[in-house]
Chain A
Amino acid sequence: MADELMADIEEKTPRPVEAVPAGNPKKDDSEKIAVATQWQLMWWRFRKHKLAMIGTIVLVLFYLVSFGADFLAYVDPEESEAQRSLMAPQPIHWFDEGGFRPYVHPQIGRRDPITFKRVYVPDIKVKVPVEFFSHGFPYKFLGFIPMDIHFLGVKNARPAETLFLFGTDMQGRDIWSRLMYGTRTSMTIGLVSVAMSLLLGITLGGFSGYFGGIMDAIVQRIIEILRSIPTIPLWMGLAAALPSSWSVNQIYFAITVIISLIGWTELARVVRGRFISLRQEDFIMAAEILGCSKPRIIFRHMVPSFVSHIIAATTLAIPAMIISETSLSFLGLGLRPPAISWGVLLQDAQNIQALVISPWLLIPSIPIIIAVLAFNFMGDGIRDAADPYG
Protein backbone atom coordinates (compact mmCIF):
# COMPACT_ATOMS: atom_id res chain seq x y z
CA MET A 1 0.00 0.00 0.00
CA ALA A 2 2.50 2.55 1.15
CA ASP A 3 4.73 1.57 -1.75
CA GLU A 4 2.10 2.26 -4.33
CA LEU A 5 1.45 5.61 -2.77
CA MET A 6 5.14 6.39 -2.79
CA ALA A 7 5.16 5.45 -6.44
CA ASP A 8 2.34 7.92 -6.95
CA ILE A 9 4.40 10.66 -5.43
CA GLU A 10 7.42 9.77 -7.50
CA GLU A 11 5.77 9.54 -10.87
CA LYS A 12 3.49 12.52 -10.77
CA THR A 13 5.52 15.65 -10.91
CA PRO A 14 4.26 18.45 -13.08
CA ARG A 15 5.03 17.88 -16.70
CA PRO A 16 6.59 20.89 -18.37
CA VAL A 17 4.74 22.80 -21.06
CA GLU A 18 7.51 22.34 -23.59
CA ALA A 19 7.43 18.57 -23.45
CA VAL A 20 5.52 18.16 -26.69
CA PRO A 21 5.68 14.52 -27.73
CA ALA A 22 8.35 13.94 -30.33
CA GLY A 23 5.81 12.07 -32.42
CA ASN A 24 4.32 15.41 -33.36
CA PRO A 25 7.00 16.93 -35.59
CA LYS A 26 7.16 18.75 -38.90
CA LYS A 27 6.35 16.65 -41.95
CA ASP A 28 9.85 16.21 -43.37
CA ASP A 29 11.03 14.99 -39.98
CA SER A 30 8.61 12.10 -39.78
CA GLU A 31 10.92 9.77 -41.66
CA LYS A 32 13.78 10.64 -39.36
CA ILE A 33 11.64 9.88 -36.33
CA ALA A 34 10.47 6.57 -37.70
CA VAL A 35 14.02 5.25 -37.81
CA ALA A 36 15.35 7.04 -34.74
CA THR A 37 16.54 4.95 -31.83
CA GLN A 38 14.94 5.25 -28.43
CA TRP A 39 17.91 7.29 -27.20
CA GLN A 40 17.62 9.73 -30.11
CA LEU A 41 13.93 10.21 -29.39
CA MET A 42 14.72 10.83 -25.76
CA TRP A 43 17.40 13.35 -26.61
CA TRP A 44 15.04 15.26 -28.92
CA ARG A 45 12.41 15.39 -26.24
CA PHE A 46 14.95 16.34 -23.59
CA ARG A 47 16.25 19.21 -25.75
CA LYS A 48 12.82 20.83 -25.74
CA HIS A 49 12.79 20.96 -21.94
CA LYS A 50 14.44 24.36 -21.47
CA LEU A 51 14.97 24.18 -17.70
CA ALA A 52 16.51 20.75 -18.03
CA MET A 53 18.92 22.02 -20.69
CA ILE A 54 19.92 24.95 -18.50
CA GLY A 55 20.40 22.57 -15.58
CA THR A 56 22.58 20.31 -17.69
CA ILE A 57 24.79 23.18 -18.84
CA VAL A 58 25.15 24.41 -15.26
CA LEU A 59 26.15 20.94 -14.11
CA VAL A 60 28.72 20.59 -16.90
CA LEU A 61 30.22 23.88 -15.69
CA PHE A 62 30.25 22.62 -12.09
CA TYR A 63 32.09 19.46 -13.07
CA LEU A 64 34.54 21.46 -15.18
CA VAL A 65 35.25 23.46 -12.03
CA SER A 66 35.77 20.20 -10.15
CA PHE A 67 38.33 19.10 -12.75
CA GLY A 68 40.12 22.42 -12.85
CA ALA A 69 39.85 23.37 -9.18
CA ASP A 70 43.60 23.85 -8.83
CA PHE A 71 43.73 25.89 -12.02
CA LEU A 72 40.87 28.17 -10.98
CA ALA A 73 42.12 28.65 -7.44
CA TYR A 74 44.79 31.30 -7.24
CA VAL A 75 45.96 30.69 -3.68
CA ASP A 76 46.85 27.47 -1.92
CA PRO A 77 43.62 26.67 -0.02
CA GLU A 78 45.54 25.88 3.14
CA GLU A 79 47.62 29.06 3.17
CA SER A 80 46.48 30.93 6.26
CA GLU A 81 47.59 34.22 7.74
CA ALA A 82 46.12 35.75 10.87
CA GLN A 83 46.98 39.21 9.51
CA ARG A 84 44.41 38.72 6.76
CA SER A 85 41.54 37.19 8.69
CA LEU A 86 37.96 37.99 7.70
CA MET A 87 38.72 40.33 4.80
CA ALA A 88 35.74 41.46 2.80
CA PRO A 89 35.53 40.52 -0.91
CA GLN A 90 37.47 42.95 -3.09
CA PRO A 91 36.29 43.63 -6.61
CA ILE A 92 38.65 43.60 -9.56
CA HIS A 93 38.67 46.93 -11.40
CA TRP A 94 38.50 45.90 -15.03
CA PHE A 95 39.18 49.13 -16.92
CA ASP A 96 41.96 51.63 -16.47
CA GLU A 97 43.32 54.45 -18.64
CA GLY A 98 40.58 53.86 -21.19
CA GLY A 99 41.48 50.23 -21.87
CA PHE A 100 41.02 46.73 -20.51
CA ARG A 101 43.66 46.69 -17.79
CA PRO A 102 42.33 44.82 -14.75
CA TYR A 103 43.91 45.77 -11.43
CA VAL A 104 43.27 45.59 -7.69
CA HIS A 105 44.24 47.84 -4.83
CA PRO A 106 46.35 46.28 -2.10
CA GLN A 107 44.69 46.16 1.31
CA ILE A 108 46.14 47.75 4.39
CA GLY A 109 45.02 46.07 7.59
CA ARG A 110 45.16 47.63 11.03
CA ARG A 111 43.43 47.24 14.32
CA ASP A 112 40.69 49.66 15.26
CA PRO A 113 41.96 51.29 18.49
CA ILE A 114 38.47 51.42 20.00
CA THR A 115 36.81 48.14 19.03
CA PHE A 116 40.01 46.11 18.55
CA LYS A 117 38.49 44.75 15.39
CA ARG A 118 40.75 44.32 12.38
CA VAL A 119 39.75 46.75 9.64
CA TYR A 120 41.04 46.84 6.09
CA VAL A 121 41.25 49.81 3.75
CA PRO A 122 42.26 49.67 0.11
CA ASP A 123 45.42 51.60 -0.76
CA ILE A 124 43.98 53.63 -3.63
CA LYS A 125 47.31 55.06 -4.74
CA VAL A 126 48.75 51.66 -5.67
CA LYS A 127 47.40 49.56 -8.53
CA VAL A 128 48.41 45.92 -8.77
CA PRO A 129 47.75 44.64 -12.28
CA VAL A 130 45.77 41.39 -12.53
CA GLU A 131 46.90 38.91 -15.18
CA PHE A 132 45.38 35.78 -16.63
CA PHE A 133 47.18 32.43 -16.88
CA SER A 134 49.80 33.58 -14.42
CA HIS A 135 52.25 31.46 -12.44
CA GLY A 136 51.27 30.62 -8.88
CA PHE A 137 51.50 27.80 -6.36
CA PRO A 138 52.51 24.43 -7.87
CA TYR A 139 49.95 21.65 -8.23
CA LYS A 140 49.34 18.50 -10.23
CA PHE A 141 46.70 18.97 -12.93
CA LEU A 142 44.32 15.97 -13.00
CA GLY A 143 46.46 14.55 -10.25
CA PHE A 144 49.58 13.80 -12.28
CA ILE A 145 50.63 16.70 -14.56
CA PRO A 146 52.82 19.11 -12.59
CA MET A 147 51.82 22.70 -13.31
CA ASP A 148 51.88 26.13 -11.75
CA ILE A 149 49.67 28.08 -14.14
CA HIS A 150 46.47 29.55 -12.69
CA PHE A 151 43.57 31.27 -14.32
CA LEU A 152 44.08 34.43 -12.29
CA GLY A 153 47.12 36.01 -10.71
CA VAL A 154 48.74 39.34 -10.03
CA LYS A 155 51.88 40.78 -11.57
CA ASN A 156 54.93 41.09 -9.32
CA ALA A 157 53.02 40.24 -6.13
CA ARG A 158 51.67 37.22 -4.30
CA PRO A 159 47.93 36.74 -5.00
CA ALA A 160 47.46 35.61 -1.38
CA GLU A 161 48.26 39.14 -0.29
CA THR A 162 46.38 41.10 -2.90
CA LEU A 163 43.52 39.19 -4.51
CA PHE A 164 40.36 38.62 -2.44
CA LEU A 165 37.53 37.83 -4.84
CA PHE A 166 35.26 36.35 -2.15
CA GLY A 167 37.15 37.60 0.91
CA THR A 168 38.88 35.47 3.53
CA ASP A 169 37.73 33.30 6.42
CA MET A 170 38.61 33.37 10.10
CA GLN A 171 42.11 32.00 9.51
CA GLY A 172 42.74 34.35 6.61
CA ARG A 173 42.36 31.67 3.94
CA ASP A 174 41.05 32.72 0.55
CA ILE A 175 37.38 31.76 0.20
CA TRP A 176 37.36 31.74 -3.61
CA SER A 177 40.20 29.23 -3.79
CA ARG A 178 38.73 27.09 -1.03
CA LEU A 179 35.36 27.16 -2.75
CA MET A 180 36.94 25.72 -5.91
CA TYR A 181 38.32 22.76 -3.95
CA GLY A 182 35.09 22.42 -1.98
CA THR A 183 33.16 22.17 -5.25
CA ARG A 184 35.39 19.28 -6.30
CA THR A 185 34.75 17.37 -3.06
CA SER A 186 31.02 18.00 -2.77
CA MET A 187 30.20 17.37 -6.42
CA THR A 188 32.14 14.10 -6.54
CA ILE A 189 30.88 12.85 -3.18
CA GLY A 190 27.35 13.01 -4.62
CA LEU A 191 28.42 10.94 -7.62
CA VAL A 192 30.32 8.33 -5.64
CA SER A 193 27.51 7.82 -3.11
CA VAL A 194 24.89 7.60 -5.81
CA ALA A 195 26.98 5.00 -7.64
CA MET A 196 27.12 2.95 -4.48
CA SER A 197 23.41 3.32 -3.80
CA LEU A 198 22.73 2.33 -7.38
CA LEU A 199 24.70 -0.88 -6.98
CA LEU A 200 22.75 -1.79 -3.83
CA GLY A 201 19.45 -0.55 -5.24
CA ILE A 202 19.69 -2.40 -8.55
CA THR A 203 20.82 -5.65 -6.98
CA LEU A 204 18.24 -5.74 -4.18
CA GLY A 205 15.45 -4.06 -6.13
CA GLY A 206 16.08 -6.30 -9.14
CA PHE A 207 16.07 -9.50 -7.11
CA SER A 208 13.02 -8.41 -5.22
CA GLY A 209 11.11 -7.41 -8.35
CA TYR A 210 12.13 -10.28 -10.58
CA PHE A 211 11.82 -13.20 -8.22
CA GLY A 212 9.00 -11.88 -6.06
CA GLY A 213 7.71 -14.10 -3.26
CA ILE A 214 9.54 -14.21 0.06
CA MET A 215 12.59 -12.43 -1.30
CA ASP A 216 10.37 -9.53 -2.34
CA ALA A 217 8.58 -9.44 1.00
CA ILE A 218 11.82 -9.34 2.96
CA VAL A 219 13.43 -6.63 0.84
CA GLN A 220 10.22 -4.60 0.93
CA ARG A 221 10.01 -4.79 4.73
CA ILE A 222 13.66 -3.77 5.04
CA ILE A 223 13.03 -0.78 2.80
CA GLU A 224 9.90 0.15 4.73
CA ILE A 225 11.74 -0.01 8.03
CA LEU A 226 14.70 1.98 6.77
CA ARG A 227 12.42 4.64 5.35
CA SER A 228 10.50 5.10 8.58
CA ILE A 229 13.65 5.83 10.56
CA PRO A 230 14.73 9.46 10.78
CA THR A 231 17.97 9.46 8.83
CA ILE A 232 19.89 12.30 10.42
CA PRO A 233 20.25 10.76 13.91
CA LEU A 234 21.27 7.53 12.22
CA TRP A 235 23.86 9.31 10.10
CA MET A 236 25.06 11.29 13.06
CA GLY A 237 25.55 8.08 15.01
CA LEU A 238 27.40 6.36 12.19
CA ALA A 239 29.52 9.38 11.35
CA ALA A 240 30.41 10.02 14.99
CA ALA A 241 31.72 6.47 15.11
CA LEU A 242 34.43 7.18 12.50
CA PRO A 243 37.78 7.18 14.26
CA SER A 244 39.41 10.59 14.32
CA SER A 245 42.72 9.04 13.31
CA TRP A 246 41.43 8.23 9.81
CA SER A 247 42.89 10.06 6.83
CA VAL A 248 40.91 12.48 4.72
CA ASN A 249 40.42 9.85 2.01
CA GLN A 250 39.22 7.20 4.43
CA ILE A 251 36.68 9.59 5.92
CA TYR A 252 35.56 10.64 2.44
CA PHE A 253 34.96 7.02 1.52
CA ALA A 254 33.24 6.21 4.80
CA ILE A 255 30.87 9.16 4.45
CA THR A 256 29.86 8.08 0.95
CA VAL A 257 29.15 4.58 2.30
CA ILE A 258 27.08 5.97 5.18
CA ILE A 259 25.04 8.19 2.88
CA SER A 260 24.43 5.43 0.36
CA LEU A 261 23.52 2.85 3.01
CA ILE A 262 20.26 4.66 3.47
CA GLY A 263 19.95 6.26 0.03
CA TRP A 264 19.61 2.98 -1.86
CA THR A 265 16.00 2.36 -0.80
CA GLU A 266 14.55 4.88 -3.23
CA LEU A 267 16.46 3.45 -6.20
CA ALA A 268 15.58 -0.10 -5.21
CA ARG A 269 11.92 0.89 -5.21
CA VAL A 270 12.13 2.31 -8.73
CA VAL A 271 13.99 -0.74 -10.06
CA ARG A 272 11.55 -3.14 -8.40
CA GLY A 273 8.56 -1.26 -9.76
CA ARG A 274 9.98 -1.42 -13.28
CA PHE A 275 10.79 -5.12 -13.00
CA ILE A 276 7.30 -5.93 -11.79
CA SER A 277 5.58 -3.99 -14.53
CA LEU A 278 7.88 -5.40 -17.22
CA ARG A 279 7.50 -8.98 -16.04
CA GLN A 280 3.91 -8.89 -17.24
CA GLU A 281 4.73 -7.50 -20.68
CA ASP A 282 4.09 -9.71 -23.70
CA PHE A 283 7.62 -9.52 -25.04
CA ILE A 284 9.05 -10.90 -21.80
CA MET A 285 6.52 -13.69 -21.86
CA ALA A 286 7.52 -14.39 -25.48
CA ALA A 287 11.19 -14.51 -24.54
CA GLU A 288 10.43 -16.93 -21.72
CA ILE A 289 8.42 -19.21 -23.97
CA LEU A 290 11.22 -19.16 -26.55
CA GLY A 291 13.47 -20.52 -23.84
CA CYS A 292 15.75 -17.54 -23.17
CA SER A 293 17.89 -17.91 -20.10
CA LYS A 294 17.12 -15.71 -17.08
CA PRO A 295 20.24 -13.54 -17.43
CA ARG A 296 19.48 -13.04 -21.12
CA ILE A 297 15.91 -11.97 -20.37
CA ILE A 298 17.07 -9.60 -17.67
CA PHE A 299 20.01 -8.01 -19.44
CA ARG A 300 18.97 -8.22 -23.09
CA HIS A 301 15.25 -7.52 -22.82
CA MET A 302 14.40 -5.92 -19.51
CA VAL A 303 17.33 -3.69 -18.62
CA PRO A 304 17.39 -1.69 -21.88
CA SER A 305 13.78 -0.76 -21.44
CA PHE A 306 14.22 0.79 -18.02
CA VAL A 307 17.75 2.18 -18.11
CA SER A 308 16.39 5.63 -18.86
CA HIS A 309 14.14 5.52 -15.79
CA ILE A 310 17.07 4.47 -13.66
CA ILE A 311 19.13 7.36 -15.01
CA ALA A 312 16.32 9.76 -14.12
CA ALA A 313 15.93 8.36 -10.60
CA THR A 314 19.70 8.48 -10.13
CA THR A 315 19.94 12.09 -11.21
CA LEU A 316 17.16 13.00 -8.82
CA ALA A 317 18.92 11.14 -5.99
CA ILE A 318 22.19 13.05 -6.27
CA PRO A 319 20.99 16.38 -4.81
CA ALA A 320 19.75 14.63 -1.67
CA MET A 321 23.18 13.08 -1.27
CA ILE A 322 24.90 16.43 -1.71
CA ILE A 323 22.63 17.98 0.91
CA SER A 324 23.30 15.06 3.26
CA GLU A 325 27.06 15.46 2.98
CA THR A 326 26.78 19.20 3.43
CA SER A 327 24.56 18.86 6.50
CA LEU A 328 26.81 16.26 8.13
CA SER A 329 29.96 18.23 7.47
CA PHE A 330 28.24 21.36 8.73
CA LEU A 331 27.55 19.56 12.02
CA GLY A 332 31.20 18.60 12.19
CA LEU A 333 30.38 14.91 11.82
CA GLY A 334 31.01 14.55 8.09
CA LEU A 335 34.19 15.52 6.34
CA ARG A 336 36.60 17.19 8.71
CA PRO A 337 39.29 19.75 8.00
CA PRO A 338 41.78 19.60 6.29
CA ALA A 339 39.22 18.19 3.83
CA ILE A 340 37.39 21.03 2.08
CA SER A 341 33.75 20.68 1.08
CA TRP A 342 30.80 23.04 0.93
CA GLY A 343 29.66 21.83 4.33
CA VAL A 344 33.11 22.29 5.87
CA LEU A 345 33.25 25.82 4.44
CA LEU A 346 29.86 26.62 5.94
CA GLN A 347 31.01 25.54 9.39
CA ASP A 348 32.60 28.98 9.64
CA ALA A 349 29.14 30.49 9.24
CA GLN A 350 27.79 28.62 12.27
CA ASN A 351 28.67 31.50 14.54
CA ILE A 352 25.90 34.03 13.96
CA GLN A 353 27.86 36.94 15.42
CA ALA A 354 30.74 36.27 13.02
CA LEU A 355 28.27 35.93 10.18
CA VAL A 356 26.68 39.31 10.83
CA ILE A 357 30.08 41.00 10.73
CA SER A 358 31.29 39.01 7.72
CA PRO A 359 28.30 37.92 5.63
CA TRP A 360 30.58 36.67 2.83
CA LEU A 361 31.11 33.52 4.90
CA LEU A 362 27.71 32.47 3.52
CA ILE A 363 28.94 32.55 -0.11
CA PRO A 364 29.51 28.75 -0.20
CA SER A 365 25.75 28.26 0.22
CA ILE A 366 25.09 29.72 -3.24
CA PRO A 367 26.71 26.89 -5.24
CA ILE A 368 24.84 24.33 -3.10
CA ILE A 369 21.49 25.83 -4.01
CA ILE A 370 22.40 26.18 -7.69
CA ALA A 371 23.76 22.62 -7.97
CA VAL A 372 20.76 21.07 -6.23
CA LEU A 373 18.35 23.02 -8.44
CA ALA A 374 20.28 22.05 -11.58
CA PHE A 375 20.20 18.36 -10.68
CA ASN A 376 16.46 18.56 -10.00
CA PHE A 377 15.75 20.26 -13.32
CA MET A 378 17.92 17.85 -15.26
CA GLY A 379 16.39 14.85 -13.50
CA ASP A 380 12.86 16.06 -14.20
CA GLY A 381 13.80 16.57 -17.85
CA ILE A 382 15.25 13.08 -18.18
CA ARG A 383 12.23 11.56 -16.50
CA ASP A 384 9.83 13.32 -18.83
CA ALA A 385 11.96 12.42 -21.85
CA ALA A 386 12.17 8.78 -20.77
CA ASP A 387 8.39 8.47 -20.58
CA PRO A 388 7.16 7.66 -24.08
CA TYR A 389 3.63 8.76 -23.18
CA GLY A 390 4.72 12.05 -21.57
Chain B
Amino acid sequence: MSHFRVEFRQRAEELIALYPRPRSAMLPLLHLAQEQDGYLSGEAIAEVAELTGTTSADVRGTALFYDMFHLEPVGQYVVAVCTNIACLLAGGVEMLEHASATLGCSVGATSPDGLFTLEESECLADCDVAPCVQVNHRYVRTNTPAAFDALVEDLRAGRRDHDVPHHGTLIRVRRNGGLHAPRTVVAAERLEARAARDARATETK
Protein backbone atom coordinates (compact mmCIF):
# COMPACT_ATOMS: atom_id res chain seq x y z
CA MET B 1 0.00 0.00 0.00
CA SER B 2 1.60 3.17 -1.15
CA HIS B 3 1.63 6.15 1.16
CA PHE B 4 2.13 8.44 -1.82
CA ARG B 5 -1.16 9.19 -3.52
CA VAL B 6 -1.42 7.94 -7.10
CA GLU B 7 -0.34 11.22 -8.68
CA PHE B 8 2.61 11.59 -6.32
CA ARG B 9 3.70 7.99 -6.77
CA GLN B 10 3.68 8.51 -10.51
CA ARG B 11 5.71 11.71 -10.24
CA ALA B 12 8.14 9.91 -7.93
CA GLU B 13 8.70 7.13 -10.44
CA GLU B 14 9.20 9.67 -13.23
CA LEU B 15 11.81 11.49 -11.15
CA ILE B 16 13.71 8.28 -10.40
CA ALA B 17 13.80 7.42 -14.11
CA LEU B 18 15.75 10.63 -14.78
CA TYR B 19 18.83 9.50 -12.90
CA PRO B 20 21.41 6.80 -13.56
CA ARG B 21 20.94 5.60 -9.96
CA PRO B 22 17.67 5.76 -7.98
CA ARG B 23 19.24 7.24 -4.86
CA SER B 24 20.02 10.42 -6.81
CA ALA B 25 16.30 11.21 -6.71
CA MET B 26 16.45 11.45 -2.90
CA LEU B 27 16.12 15.23 -2.57
CA PRO B 28 13.39 15.64 -5.20
CA LEU B 29 11.44 12.74 -3.65
CA LEU B 30 11.66 14.31 -0.21
CA HIS B 31 10.39 17.59 -1.67
CA LEU B 32 7.53 15.60 -3.15
CA ALA B 33 6.72 13.89 0.16
CA GLN B 34 6.68 17.26 1.87
CA GLU B 35 4.37 18.63 -0.81
CA GLN B 36 1.86 15.84 -0.15
CA ASP B 37 1.97 15.76 3.67
CA GLY B 38 3.31 19.21 4.58
CA TYR B 39 6.25 17.55 6.34
CA LEU B 40 8.22 14.30 6.21
CA SER B 41 6.02 11.70 7.87
CA GLY B 42 7.41 8.32 8.92
CA GLU B 43 5.30 6.64 6.25
CA ALA B 44 6.66 8.91 3.53
CA ILE B 45 10.23 8.34 4.71
CA ALA B 46 9.70 4.58 4.53
CA GLU B 47 8.36 4.88 1.01
CA VAL B 48 11.25 7.08 -0.13
CA ALA B 49 13.60 4.46 1.34
CA GLU B 50 11.87 1.75 -0.66
CA LEU B 51 11.96 3.84 -3.84
CA THR B 52 15.64 4.74 -3.51
CA GLY B 53 16.86 1.36 -2.31
CA THR B 54 17.94 2.69 1.08
CA THR B 55 16.64 2.43 4.65
CA SER B 56 14.38 4.73 6.66
CA ALA B 57 17.32 5.59 8.92
CA ASP B 58 19.39 6.56 5.90
CA VAL B 59 16.62 8.73 4.47
CA ARG B 60 15.98 10.40 7.82
CA GLY B 61 19.70 11.00 8.31
CA THR B 62 19.97 12.58 4.88
CA ALA B 63 16.85 14.71 5.31
CA LEU B 64 18.06 16.07 8.67
CA PHE B 65 21.11 17.55 6.95
CA TYR B 66 19.00 19.89 4.83
CA ASP B 67 17.23 22.99 6.18
CA MET B 68 14.24 22.76 3.85
CA PHE B 69 13.03 19.43 5.18
CA HIS B 70 10.73 19.36 8.20
CA LEU B 71 10.50 16.21 10.28
CA GLU B 72 7.60 17.61 12.29
CA PRO B 73 4.38 19.19 11.05
CA VAL B 74 4.64 22.87 10.17
CA GLY B 75 2.11 25.59 9.39
CA GLN B 76 0.46 25.99 6.04
CA TYR B 77 2.78 28.93 5.42
CA VAL B 78 6.44 28.74 6.36
CA VAL B 79 7.65 32.31 6.77
CA ALA B 80 11.41 32.75 6.50
CA VAL B 81 13.02 36.03 7.48
CA CYS B 82 16.68 36.50 6.63
CA THR B 83 19.00 38.10 9.18
CA ASN B 84 22.28 37.43 7.39
CA ILE B 85 24.70 40.24 6.61
CA ALA B 86 22.87 42.24 3.91
CA CYS B 87 19.54 41.91 5.71
CA LEU B 88 21.14 42.60 9.11
CA LEU B 89 22.27 45.97 7.73
CA ALA B 90 18.70 46.66 6.55
CA GLY B 91 16.87 45.72 9.75
CA GLY B 92 16.45 41.96 9.34
CA VAL B 93 16.57 41.27 13.07
CA GLU B 94 13.91 43.92 13.70
CA MET B 95 11.81 42.41 10.90
CA LEU B 96 12.10 38.97 12.49
CA GLU B 97 10.92 40.40 15.83
CA HIS B 98 8.08 42.18 14.10
CA ALA B 99 7.06 38.99 12.27
CA SER B 100 7.06 37.11 15.56
CA ALA B 101 4.71 39.68 17.11
CA THR B 102 2.39 39.81 14.09
CA LEU B 103 2.14 36.04 13.70
CA GLY B 104 1.91 35.41 17.44
CA CYS B 105 4.62 32.78 17.56
CA SER B 106 8.28 32.67 18.47
CA VAL B 107 11.04 31.89 15.99
CA GLY B 108 10.98 28.21 15.07
CA ALA B 109 7.40 27.78 16.30
CA THR B 110 3.98 27.54 14.65
CA SER B 111 1.16 30.00 15.31
CA PRO B 112 -1.74 28.73 17.48
CA ASP B 113 -4.07 28.57 14.47
CA GLY B 114 -1.59 26.31 12.68
CA LEU B 115 -1.36 28.71 9.77
CA PHE B 116 2.19 30.07 10.11
CA THR B 117 5.60 28.71 11.04
CA LEU B 118 8.31 31.34 11.52
CA GLU B 119 11.94 30.68 10.69
CA GLU B 120 15.11 32.73 10.91
CA SER B 121 16.82 32.04 7.65
CA GLU B 122 20.27 32.39 6.15
CA CYS B 123 20.83 34.42 2.98
CA LEU B 124 18.08 33.80 0.41
CA ALA B 125 19.90 35.56 -2.46
CA ASP B 126 17.51 38.48 -2.87
CA CYS B 127 19.58 41.10 -1.07
CA ASP B 128 18.45 44.10 -3.13
CA VAL B 129 15.04 43.96 -1.40
CA ALA B 130 16.37 43.59 2.14
CA PRO B 131 15.34 42.45 4.63
CA CYS B 132 14.30 39.44 2.59
CA VAL B 133 11.16 37.47 3.43
CA GLN B 134 10.09 34.23 1.77
CA VAL B 135 6.79 32.42 2.30
CA ASN B 136 6.86 28.78 1.19
CA HIS B 137 10.05 29.69 -0.69
CA ARG B 138 8.37 32.44 -2.70
CA TYR B 139 9.94 35.89 -2.56
CA VAL B 140 7.19 38.16 -1.22
CA ARG B 141 9.40 41.28 -1.10
CA THR B 142 7.81 42.81 1.98
CA ASN B 143 10.74 44.75 3.38
CA THR B 144 8.75 47.07 5.69
CA PRO B 145 6.65 46.12 8.74
CA ALA B 146 3.50 47.57 7.12
CA ALA B 147 4.03 45.56 3.93
CA PHE B 148 4.59 42.43 5.99
CA ASP B 149 1.36 42.94 7.94
CA ALA B 150 -0.58 43.49 4.71
CA LEU B 151 0.88 40.26 3.33
CA VAL B 152 -0.20 38.33 6.42
CA GLU B 153 -3.74 39.68 6.05
CA ASP B 154 -3.77 38.62 2.40
CA LEU B 155 -2.46 35.16 3.24
CA ARG B 156 -5.10 34.70 5.95
CA ALA B 157 -7.80 35.70 3.47
CA GLY B 158 -6.41 33.38 0.78
CA ARG B 159 -5.71 36.26 -1.56
CA ARG B 160 -2.15 35.15 -2.37
CA ASP B 161 -2.80 31.56 -3.43
CA HIS B 162 -1.82 32.40 -7.01
CA ASP B 163 1.77 33.35 -6.16
CA VAL B 164 2.26 31.69 -2.78
CA PRO B 165 1.13 28.08 -3.26
CA HIS B 166 1.30 25.59 -0.42
CA HIS B 167 4.38 23.55 0.45
CA GLY B 168 6.66 22.05 -2.08
CA THR B 169 9.29 23.84 -4.05
CA LEU B 170 8.41 21.57 -7.01
CA ILE B 171 4.65 22.09 -6.75
CA ARG B 172 4.53 23.84 -10.12
CA VAL B 173 7.51 22.15 -11.73
CA ARG B 174 6.67 19.53 -14.36
CA ARG B 175 9.12 18.10 -16.81
CA ASN B 176 8.06 17.19 -20.27
CA GLY B 177 10.46 16.34 -23.00
CA GLY B 178 13.62 14.32 -22.75
CA LEU B 179 16.18 12.51 -24.80
CA HIS B 180 13.62 10.14 -26.37
CA ALA B 181 16.39 8.08 -27.97
CA PRO B 182 17.84 4.78 -26.81
CA ARG B 183 20.89 5.31 -24.57
CA THR B 184 22.86 2.85 -26.69
CA VAL B 185 22.28 4.93 -29.82
CA VAL B 186 23.36 8.11 -28.04
CA ALA B 187 26.44 6.38 -26.64
CA ALA B 188 27.37 5.10 -30.10
CA GLU B 189 27.07 8.63 -31.49
CA ARG B 190 29.51 9.87 -28.87
CA LEU B 191 32.01 7.07 -29.41
CA GLU B 192 32.05 7.88 -33.11
CA ALA B 193 32.43 11.64 -32.50
CA ARG B 194 35.22 11.13 -29.99
CA ALA B 195 37.08 8.82 -32.34
CA ALA B 196 36.81 11.44 -35.08
CA ARG B 197 38.11 14.09 -32.70
CA ASP B 198 41.07 11.93 -31.71
CA ALA B 199 41.82 11.31 -35.36
CA ARG B 200 41.83 15.05 -36.03
CA ALA B 201 44.14 15.61 -33.06
CA THR B 202 46.62 13.03 -34.40
CA GLU B 203 46.49 14.61 -37.85
CA THR B 204 47.43 18.07 -36.57
CA LYS B 205 50.37 16.60 -34.66
Q: Do A and B bind each other?
A: no
